Structure 1
Amino acid sequence: MDNPTGSSQSSQAGKTGEAAALMDQVYRHQRHFYDLTRKYYLLGRDRLIDRLDPPAGGSVLELGCGTGRNLIAAARRHPEAQFFGLDISAEMLETARANIARAGLSSRIRLASADATDFDAEALFGRATFDRVFFSYALSMIPPWQAALTAGLKALAPGGTLSLVDFGQQDRLPRWFKALLFAWLTKFHVSPRADTAEVVNGLASRHGATAATGTLYRGYAVWAELQRGKD
């Protein structure tokens, strides 16, 4: 007798494996100088970190944590919180662990390998929900990015906030700049999402949450904050 559940799980595992292999290929060498170059154009990350404002003793999860740069900055900015990060790339996680250890923050930051669109936080970290969940320039690299947003909301504790920042549509910048930027991003499998605000607002409406969205730097970046109601 056929087992559709087993087939579905196998298919998901296959897709996760393919995505992990692609990200490892893209960042196997880049991870060594990633933070030195990205600081010039991943704009709005520190604004997001400043606005996290987790409660004392609270928990913060980054989905698509990459080299650990944001987690380190957030842990320093919010010293009373505990931080967690997951990424699909083993190469990136290797760099993240080294960076976190070098920063002396291994006791406050825990990492795990997982797919941001389908993960079991309880199994990974021993907790099902977090006071803050955030994406920093990660959704544009996740093909099923709406599934990742839904998974992030699922991992959000009542009263918690999900935050994101990513590439915008460059709508108030010169057309030549947008064309060059988007062509360059394509080389790294990065696809800015034109409907981020619409998707976030729809997600909030369906789940009884509230949302705020906007752009930064003349449309260079898009940001959003989605707050879950207190059950």
Structure 2
Amino acid sequence: MSDHGALMDGVYRYQRHFYDLTRKYYLLGRDQMIAELAPPAGGSVLEIGCGTGRNLIAVGKAWPQARLYGVDISEAMLDTARMAVAKAGMADRVTLAQGDACKFDAEALFGQAAFDRVFVSYALSMIPDWEAALAQAARCVGRGGRLEVVDFGQQERLPGLWKRMLFGWLAQFHVSPRRELAGAIERLASEVGGSAWSRALYRGYAVRGALLAP
């Protein structure tokens, strides 16, 4: 296991048991993203950094014909995800695998290299080489597919004290909001000949962006 994988296992070994209960109050924008994924009937959806499986289960409920895949670097989180997926009755629809977001082999893990929808929810801010992870996510998007990202923003329209307190608290969990996220999505879209958009949510609390593959 990589050093980052060991770190994430350590951070979430105990937190994973109450992670979803606490995070639902401040991981804003992810449910709206899921509601708008709109994969084609029978299409494939991959979540990178799937954690406890909470988002994949929500996708499964919102889009019951989709085939679902998730990859995460933490085996501790994947243990929780497997139990959650089974409890939700989706074990036959969700395939989970351990892998580094920056360099996993989708073909080896899932038997396919490209997906109709790929999404990353509040994970890039936890990945040291987040730009490599974003590029890897873009490589997993099939022709005419879409990559969706939501994460912490720069709090630009919120009080400075709020930003300092939030960023200081997030740092305790090895979370660093990425100032250049929107620009990185734009650059990747240009490189692959696709298009992109991004927007701030909740006065800059979060940022959401998408890359549409050609």
Task: Please give the TM-score of this superposition, normalised by the length of structure 2.
Answer: 0.99
Matches within 5 A, 1:53-202: 53-202=38-187
Alpha-carbon distance between aligned partners in 2 of 1:175 and 1:153, rounded to the nearest angstrom:
33
Q: Is the partner of 1:29 in helix, strand or coil? A: helix
What runs of 5+ residues in structure 2 fail to find an aligned partner?
none
Kindly provide the CA deviation profile for residues 185-204 of structure 1, in whole angstroms up to 9, marking residues without a partner as x. Answer: 00000000001111110111
Alpha-carbon distance between aligned partners in 1 of 2:154 and 2:119, rounded to the nearest angstrom:
20
Task: Please give the TM-score of this superposition, normalised by the length of structure 1.
Answer: 0.92
What is the deviation of 1:107? 0.6
Kindly provide the CA deviation profile for residues 134-188 of structure 1, in whole angstroms up to 9, marking residues without a partner as x. Answer: 0000000001111111111111100000000000000001111111100000000
What is the deviation of 1:48? 0.8
Residue identity opposite 1:46 in structure 2: D
Q: Is the partner of 2:28 in helix, strand or coil? A: coil
Residue identity opposite 1:202 in structure 2: R
Runs of 4 or more consecutive aligned structure 1 residues displaced over 3 Å after TM superposition: none
CA RMSD of aligned residues (A): 0.6
What is the deviation of 1:109? 0.6
What runs of 5+ residues in structure 1 fail to find an aligned partner?
1-15
Alpha-carbon distance between aligned partners in 1 of 2:57 and 2:29, rounded to the nearest angstrom:
16
Question: 199-208 or 37-46, which moves further after superposition?
Answer: 199-208
Percent of residue pairs bearing the same amino acid type: 59
When Rg is computed on C-alpha atoms for both structures, the one with the higher figure is 1
